[in-house]
Amino acid sequence: MQFIVPQFIDVEDKIIGPVTTRQFVVLLAAAAMITIDYQIIYKIANSFWLFGLSAVFILGLFGTFAFLRVNGRPFHYFMLNFLISLRDPHLRLWTKYRSSAELSHKQEFTKLTPTVPMKGALTRSKLTQLSLVVDTGGAYQDSSDEEIL
């Protein structure tokens, strides 16, 4: 049985030209904010320059969230990750707290394990033979010792 594997799942659907659905919704929210800004600042305070300055700021902020991509991902993911990294510590340490039952079991286990005998030190002649085997790529065989390794 064959299955169709979805491709290009990270590409958003375009609705109006090159504008995606998410970008369109963000731009609609910007238009709503600018309309509210117009109603409050221009009509009440009667200051067109203050309205224009705040409208440019709102459009820049919402345009950043709509169109800017950081490392190939939308800007709102970058902002969420940035805020999470500010809130959480950067260094994570793991310390395991052991109960007294675990500690006593570990002490019993260490008492029961026998010690492993250590190998004897290599002599100078043995080291010389080993270096000859390594240097010749295994072609050198000593007649007195059949297996060096």
Q: What is the pLDDT of residues 77-132, one digit of tens each?
A: 999 999 998 888 677 777 777 777 777 766 555 555 566 777 767 677 888 888 88
59 located within any domain: yes
Domain total of the chain? 1
The b-or-e profile of 9-38 (16+ CB within 10 A means b, else e) is eeeeeeeeeeebeebeebbeebeebbeebe
Alpha carbon distance 2, 59 (integer Å) = 48
Of all residues in the chain, the percent with pLDDT exceeding 70 is 83
125 located within any domain: no
105 located within any domain: no
Alpha carbon distance 11, 18 (integer Å) = 12
4 located within any domain: no
Structure tokens at 88: 């959480």
21 located within any domain: yes
Which residue is it, tokens 């800004």?
A: 37
Identify the band that residue 55 occupies on the pLDDT scale cut at 50, 70 and 90: very high
Its domain, for residue 76, covers 14-87
Identify the band that residue 67 occupies on the pLDDT scale cut at 50, 70 and 90: very high
93 located within any domain: no
Give me the half-sphere count of Cα atoms (radius 13 Å) on the Cβ side of residue 99: 2
> Where in the chain does DSSP place strands (E)?
14-16, 19-20, 69-70, 73-74
116 located within any domain: no
CB atoms within 10 A of CB 66: 21
52 located within any domain: yes
Q: What are phi and psi of 65, to 5 degrees?
A: -70, -25
